[in-house]
A and B are shown apart, each in its own frame.
Chain A
Amino acid sequence: MNKSTGKLLSLMLGMTLLLSACGGGSSNNASGGSDNAGASDQPSSSASAPSESTQDTLILGRGGDSVSLDGSIVTDGESLKIVHQVFDSLLEYKEGTTEVEPALAEKWEISADGLTYTFTLRQGVKFHDGTDFNADAVVFNFNRWSDPNSEYKFEGDSFDYYDSMFGPDGARVIKNVTAKDDHTVVFTLNQPQAPFLQNLAMTCFGIASPAAIKEKKENFKNEPVGTGPFVFKEWKRNDSITLEKNPNYWKEGLPKLNKVIVRSIPDNSARFNALQNGEIDLMEDVNPDDLTLLEANTSLQKIERPPFNVAYIGFNTKKKPFDDPKVRVALNYAVNKQGLIDAFFAGQAKPAVNPMPPTLWGYNDQIQDYTYDLDKAKQLLSDAGYPDGLPGEYTFYAMPVSRPYMPDGKKVAEAIQADFAKIGVKVNIESPEWATYLDDTKAGEKDDLYMLGWTGDNGDPDNFIYTLLDKDAIPGNNRGFYVNENLHNILVEAQKEIDQNKRSDLYKQAQTIIHDDAPWIPLVYTTPILAAKANLKGFIPNPTGTEYYSSVYFE
């Protein structure tokens, strides 16, 4: 008995000593000399040392993983970023802008009444699985999205973007899509839609290989097949997605990279550390706190994505006293936007005035923002019948996650809470986890005020104002349950109007109504910051947050 325990113990002791010796040895190795240190610098040296100028793999670090790789069933940016590499739409946005350009459709004709669009398709394009891209493929995809009983709509899936851009079942904008010949597709509309081409260019309307959908069925969302610059290779969930060059890509000379690996690294600071250490080449969402480090580092470059978003506080207008515009205007006067920008955005933002960013056409620059003025706020509350501030306490939902338009929702909410307290408005901040947060605000039962934001999907004001503030967006993105019939009429009219100048006027009117009604406190328009190795070239950030990696290369 004693012998065996003795053996066990001496074995453990021996192992302990052996392993601690190993541990010591390895740390000696590491500190033993600069040559060793260099050798252990595997991640960066293997990246740059052996082939200084011919690096052909891009490793991108981002905060979250994709949900699905079938772009038509998702609405989240992280999914669409990958979808954008694998699929092409009929039209696309010119790099760095939201200007529409031909893509799979080479040219198009619009009938005088705005109801018929005839697209001539690019010839000789093949899907990654080798099948031909043609008019039938386009028809197949659009039928899949519009037919609620399509056999290629799988359990639990819904084509949310199709419904939101082209109207829900029963009120579809697109009447039908037909193949005139192998490379001509005709879209017939039920009613004119001004942003129709703008919508078609969205990533979510990328054309998928019908053969692959038929064959893979549900699994298509894990193994996407399109015509895009990169071919899907592998998806390790929560870890990385690997894409490889499409050698038959229809754009001459592209893509320049051989391989793209997109890694999810949830923590912004850890991601920045990985970039500094050479383990990734490009990263999204730099923490405002890390900006000074980034700017001081000569081996890195800072990339600014054009501001195309808005962060805001919404009032739950279903609830008292936020159904009263006077109260909402009063609270608008109690938020120090510039103070928030200096404290939490490292200056990388502008105070928001309207529900859409000034970079978008139709922006109303005549509107004067409510200034930060606590006395005036108090006065207005008093005028609204609350001389001692608002009675009771209110629930203020602040985002638990970092978004491009809001790096730290809770801290911003705390600053606003303090200002509200000064005018006699007591709010309690709550931050349930993200899925619950979105559900709760959509239901509007628990929150009185909520913080949220929006990044534009396409270059149309409709995608901000109608999507976020029209009564049609209840329940959905209009989480304040704000209803204004006059606004609704203007927005619907703007959707049917084809003359852009007239539309622009309509959206300006809409912004005036919204400013007076104050369903929101618009907070900021941010400039999202990306960082990359200094020798990375050809990356053109797009306002929508989705860009091609096909023209990226390393010097």
Chain B
Amino acid sequence: MNSYVLKRIFVLIPVLVGMTLIVFSIIHAIPGDPAETILGQKATEQSKEALREQLGLDKPWLQQYFMYVGDLLKGDLGESIRTKVPIAKEITPYLAATLELTFTAMLFALIIGINAGILSAWKQNSWFDYAAMLLALIGISMPIFWLGLMEQWLFSIKLHWLPSIGRMDQRNPLETQTGLYVLDAIIQGKWDQLWIVIKHLILPSIALGTIPMAVIARMTRSSMLEVMKSDYIRTARSKGLPQFLVVYKHALKNAFIPVLTVVGLQTGSLLGGAVLTETIFAWPGVGRYLYDAISYRDYPVIQTGILIIAFIFVVINLIVDLLYAAIDRRIKYR
């Protein structure tokens, strides 16, 4: 087990190196002088020269790359061209906002998706099964933009249950420490504000979580159906075990591995794909931060943003793989 974990982590190294290489190449891949790419056509020769020196662009490519990686290892992610603020500092609140949203969306997708999938498999060909799978199909093909606006229309404007935009009531702001508002409200013991924060999370989480929810539901259902046919389930049933236990304990255990893969992949894609949700719900997250950086050609920010998202993606994959091993000890690294 431990050696598996070690091996699995060891394999990360070439992946991480590859990532930094790709990200490092972004600026060099753009035609033209990198200094001019960064500073724009209006920049004076003087400031371009200064930047070249600062970034070491006058040095050989390989040396530049090692300098870049060296800075990364020191925690120096560079500086935004537009705001002149270190990116490591600037990106944190956006990252926190996106993580909070992604996590909640995934939680929603998991709870509804897994249970709907299990129940559909359990009651195969029932009206519930048909309804759930029809909804899953609709969920997969639903444009996030449209879904988000419809949610706002129904739950905010018509029913007045939930706020439609932002993370917090601006008239009564929350002091932030971690940047994760739910956590901040709990730490500060501000329960009324916690409730407001949660209410702000609901609509965007549903919008963002709908597609993974549908994917998870379908995956769980087909995986469960496969497992339910197997001999050991028949044995468990014949022993007179309650159906609930058979399904949720014995069957789910083996059915869960393919689902876990899907969960990992979906979480990664949520991180990068949250731009639409963040736009509709005015959520100040990493998606919009990156989008903005692209509009202003803030290349260091684009580089770092992509690197961070890729890094999180890799870590999620690692966690998924480790969970495989925890669920099924037969899995080993070959």
In the complex, what residues of A have CB within 8 A of residue B111's CB? Answer: 16, 19-20, 23
B11-19, B70-78, B168-176, B307-315: which lies at the A interface? B168-176
A:453-506 near B, CB below 8 Å: none
Bound complex: CA A42 to CA B288 (Å) = 26
A81-89, A265-273, A365-373: which lies at the B interface? A265-273
Q: Does A276 contact B (CB under 8 A)?
A: yes
B149 touches A277 (CB 8 A): no
A6-14, A165-173, A510-518: which lies at the B interface? A6-14
Q: DSSP class of A's interface residues: helix, strand, loop or mixed? A: helix
In the complex, what residues of B have CB within 8 A of residue A23's CB? Answer: 111
Selected from B149, B282, B328, the residue in CB contact (under 8 A) with A264 is: B282
B295 touches A433 (CB 8 A): yes
Query: Which of chain A's residues has its CB closest to B193's CB?
Result: A42
- The distance from the CB of A452 to the nearest CB of chain B, in whole angstroms, is 17
B107 touches A19 (CB 8 A): yes
Bound complex: CA A143 to CA B84 (Å) = 24
Per-position 1/0 for A210-236, Cβ under 8 A of B: 000000001100100000000000001
- The distance from the CB of B170 to the nearest CB of chain A, in whole angstroms, is 5
B:295-334 near A, CB below 8 Å: 295-297, 326-329
Given contacts A236-B93, A236-B284, A273-B157, are A435 and B169 in contact (CB under 8 A)? no
Q: Does A128 contact B (CB under 8 A)?
A: no
Bound complex: CA A267 to CA B277 (Å) = 11
Per-position 1/0 for B81-113, Cβ under 8 A of A: 111110000100110000000000001001110
- The distance from the CB of B90 to the nearest CB of chain A, in whole angstroms, is 8
A238 touches B82 (CB 8 A): no
Selected from A1, A236, A273, A435, the residue in CB contact (under 8 A) with B152 is: A273
Q: Does B47 contact A (CB under 8 A)?
A: yes
B59-67, B125-133, B158-166, B183-191: which lies at the A interface? B158-166
Given contacts A238-B289, A273-B149, are A9 and B164 in contact (CB under 8 A)? no
Bound complex: CA A261 to CA B295 (Å) = 24
In the complex, what residues of B have CB within 8 A of residue A434's CB? Answer: 295
Q: Does B292 contact A (CB under 8 A)?
A: yes
Given contacts A9-B249, A273-B157, are A237 and B81 in contact (CB under 8 A)? no
Q: Does B39 contact A (CB under 8 A)?
A: yes
Q: DSSP class of B's interface residues: helix, strand, loop or mixed? A: helix
A:43-87 near B, CB below 8 Å: 43-44, 46-47, 57, 59, 65, 67
Selected from A5, A67, A263, the residue in CB contact (under 8 A) with B170 is: A263
Given contacts A279-B165, A433-B294, are A270 and B148 in contact (CB under 8 A)? yes
- The distance from the CB of B220 to the nearest CB of chain A, in whole angstroms, is 12
Q: Does B232 contact A (CB under 8 A)?
A: no
Given contacts A42-B199, A238-B288, A435-B295, are A269 and B160 in contact (CB under 8 A)? no
In the complex, what residues of B have CB within 8 A of residue A8's CB? Answer: 326-327
Query: Which of chain B's residues has its CB closest to A261's CB?
Result: B170
In the complex, what residues of B have CB within 8 A of residue A239's CB? Answer: 166, 282, 284
Shortest beta-carbon contacts, A-B, top 9: A239-B284, A265-B282, A273-B152, A277-B156, A274-B165, A41-B160, A276-B157, A43-B163, A273-B164
A interface vs B, CB < 8 Å?
1, 4-6, 8-10, 13, 16, 19-20, 23, 30, 37-38, 40-44, 46-47, 57, 59, 65, 67, 155-156, 158, 218-219, 222, 236-240, 261, 263-267, 269-271, 273-274, 276-277, 279, 433-435, 439
| 13 A-B interface contacts by CB (under 8 A) | A9-B252, A13-B248, A43-B169, A65-B292, A67-B296, A237-B83, A237-B289, A238-B284, A267-B282, A270-B152, A270-B280, A274-B164, A277-B160
